[in-house]
Structure 1
Amino acid sequence: MQSGSGALANVRAAWARARQRWWVRWGVDLVLLALVFVAVAAWQTRHLPGSGAPAPDFTLRTLEGETVSLQSLRGKPVVLAFWAPWCGVCGAESSNLSQLRRLAGDSAHVVSVALAYEDEEAVRRFTREHAVDYPVLLGDDSLQQAWRVNMFPTVFFLSPEGRIERSVVGYTTLAGLSWRWML
């Protein structure tokens, strides 16, 4: 029988041999990177309404002057993106939301809410500069507080019944949006 220190030495030696293989080094690095990514994502969403919670209701005006309520979107999954016109990351993510809207077609609603804007013209300028082709609603501070959004962009994925299923903060690729929407 080996002593505890002998067994530990054997484990260390085996690990050193394994680390000499490129695929082991890469695999370990990828697992560590994934763990860091998951930890950061969990930290960023820690104050947002939790999974399974009812989505805070709203009735908001669009840039065209129509009103849209969250209640009217029920019956299909909803991808609800909160953004600000001054947010560069929001601009980068905007084309991903457009692509998701085209990908989802009639099977889901892809809607955005502009927050933290100086005036409506700033929102209009953002939509022109980024060729926004999804509905844009005009939110306010009370809506931002109700949804507990304190970073941009923040995207919520709602069930057809209006419950929050998932959320993500920060830039999200089309693959990331699609994966979360389809779960």
Structure 2
Amino acid sequence: MHMQGSPGALARLKSTWAKGRGRWWVRWGVDLAVFALLFAAVAAWQARNLPGGGTPAPDFTLSTLAGDTVRLDALRGKPVVVAFWAPWCGVCGMESANLSQLRKLAGDSAHVVSVAVAYDDEAAVRRFVQEHDVDYPVLLGDDTVQSAWRVNSFPTVFFVSPEGRVERAAVGYTTLAGLSWRLML
């Protein structure tokens, strides 16, 4: 048995629908809120196994491409952005310009360093640096440092407090705005 609503109820429904269609900004706002919620949930899920939440940053002593040695402990006193990447990672190449801009924006108020891992030879790292005009320090990492930081996706960026604690992490492409926002938190 099929029941129809009263003519008054149908008219009210049509009126409500017409008003809703006229309020495009409400629909867009709801869509944007749902998208932001989904984006935040995916980002949290990707970073779920990474050090964070104030845990001590795993220390390292690594060489730069120029042969200098950098210790993470020596960078304390300022926030540190540590970006892990691989030379074969296309997304890492896209993000490299954002890291460069972040370094310029942060100036002397923070350190921005990167750790190359998962590479076959140093020549691959040098090619990446040249092709992407990398102007921030590049450290040569290995399986030990990659494992200590629990990095299994590229790029992965950590935000370390001046006291040496991992505060936040981001997996995958991160915009300059996203990097800056996380650094300032």
With the length of structure 1 as denominator, give the TM-score of the two structures. 0.90
Distance in 1 between residues matched to 2:18 and 2:43, nearest whole Å: 34
Instruction: Name 1:4's counterpart in structure 2.
Output: none
Tell me whether 1:38 sits opposite 2:40 in the alignment: yes
Tell me the alpha carbon deviations over residues 21-53 of structure 1, each in whole angstroms, 9 at most, x when there is no partner: 201110110011001101100110011012100
Moved over 3 A (4+): 13-19
Q: CA RMSD in A?
A: 1.6
Distance in 1 between residues matched to 2:67 and 2:94, nearest whole Å: 26
Counterparts of 1:125-144 in structure 2 under 5 Å? Answer: 125-144=127-146
Distance in 2 between residues matched to 1:82 and 1:75, nearest whole Å: 21
Q: Which amino acid aligns with 1:124?
A: R
With the length of structure 2 as denominator, give the TM-score of the two structures. 0.89
Equivalent residues, number: 173
Give unmatched runs, 5+ long, in structure 2. 1-8
- How far has the Cα of 1:135 moved from its partner? 0.3
Distance in 1 between residues matched to 2:16 and 2:58, nearest whole Å: 51
Distance in 2 between residues matched to 1:82 and 1:15, nearest whole Å: 52
Distance in 2 between residues matched to 1:63 and 1:131, nearest whole Å: 14
Q: 2:116 aligns with which of 114, 117, 124?
A: 114
- How far has the Cα of 1:17 moved from its partner? 6.0
Tell whether the 8 Å contact from 1:18 to 1:24 is kept in structure 2 after alignment. no
Give the percent of matched residue pairs that are identical in Structure 1 and Structure 2: 76
Q: 2:84 aligns with which of 71, 74, 82?
A: 82
Tell me the alpha carbon deviations over residues 95-140 of structure 1, each in whole angstroms, 9 at most, x when there is no partner: 1100110111111000000000000000000000000000000000
Instruction: Name 2:57's counterpart in structure 1.
Output: 55
Distance in 2 between residues matched to 1:144 and 1:74, nearest whole Å: 20
In our comparison, the structure showing a higher alpha carbon Rg is 2
- How far has the Cα of 1:159 moved from its partner? 0.4
